Amino acid sequence: MALDNPTSQAAVTTADKVFEQMLHDIVEGNIQAGSKISEPELAKKFQISRSTLREALNRLEKCHLIERKANVGSRVVECSISGLLEIYIVREALEGMACRQAAQNMTDIEISEMRAMLKQHATAKALRDGIAYYQEEGDLDFHYKVILGSHNQQLINILCGQLYHLVRMYRCQFGMNSPRATKAFDEHSRIIEAIADRDGELAEMLMRRHIAASRKNIENKIAQQQ
């Protein structure tokens, strides 16, 4: 067995790299939401053939970041308020369940790692009063860890593999740094305690409320603007 890859990490093809670059560009808004994707143009930009580009586009489509119509072409998805709320609904259901499963399936080591992470976030937060930091990176870290802790491959695939890129895209496009940072932190720590107590029912309920609170926060904002 000849391993070209001593660290046994999966091979990375050209299409992979282009995918990651475009993923970044779309999430950050460098490629505008709703814009049409020209295959010849992008292939030229990346100095690759259209076949390779289309391979990358297929992966973006898997993440629901672009939409393709036969014989017509691809467009970057639009970011609408209703679309954002739809995602929150899905997250409430899926992450709630992930949290219940995490309470059941996480190892003690994983739990202590989560506690350590939260503690580190707390100090970072106090130090820099880094609301923005905590809101963006810390929040995602926390949710990721819970999802992985479910040990349910389907949940992990759907949430981490596809939905979370969309979540990140919305955060960037709408510039979301709500005043919920400190409140969110408390909610996170209560969720971890429920997981540590192996109380799946409570853990699910807390996670659902946590996500629903974010959603309602947005709904209220929208209502005020009108």
Q: By C-beta, is 56 or 184 nearer to DNA?
A: 56
State the minimum distance, in angstroms, from the CB of residue 26 to DNA: 16
Q: Using alpha carbons only, give the angle 33, 37, 40 rounded to the nearest 5 degrees.
A: 155
Q: What's the one-letter identity of residue 54?
A: R
Which one among 52, 101, 135, 150 touches DNA, defined by CB under 7 A?
52
> Which listed option, DNA, a second copy, none, makes contact with residue 73 (CB within 5 to 8 Å by class)?
DNA
Contact assessment for residue 106 and residue 149, using Cβ atoms and an 8 Å cutoff: yes
| Subset of residues 165 to 224 that bind a second copy, contact rule: CB under 8 A | none
State the minimum distance, in angstroms, from the CB of residue 157 to DNA: 19
d(CA 207, CA 186): 12
The CA-atom distances, in angstroms, between 197 and each of 65, 97, 104, 169, 194 are 38, 16, 10, 34, 5
d(CA 61, CA 81): 21
Which one among 30, 41, 83, 182 touches a second copy, defined by CB under 8 A?
83
Which one among 23, 65, 74, 134 touches DNA, defined by CB under 7 A?
74
The answer to whether residue 29 forms part of the interface with DNA (CB under 7 A) is no
The answer to whether residue 126 forms part of the interface with DNA (CB under 7 A) is no
Q: Using alpha carbons only, give the angle 92, 99, 172 rounded to the nearest 5 degrees.
A: 50
Q: By C-beta, is 131 or 160 nearer to a second copy?
A: 160
Is beta strand 73-76 parallel, antiparallel or unpaired with respect to 36-37? antiparallel
- Write out the residues near a second copy by the rule CB under 8 A: 10-13, 16, 51, 54-55, 58, 61-62, 64, 69-72, 83, 86-87, 89-90, 92-94, 96-97, 101, 152-155, 157-158, 163
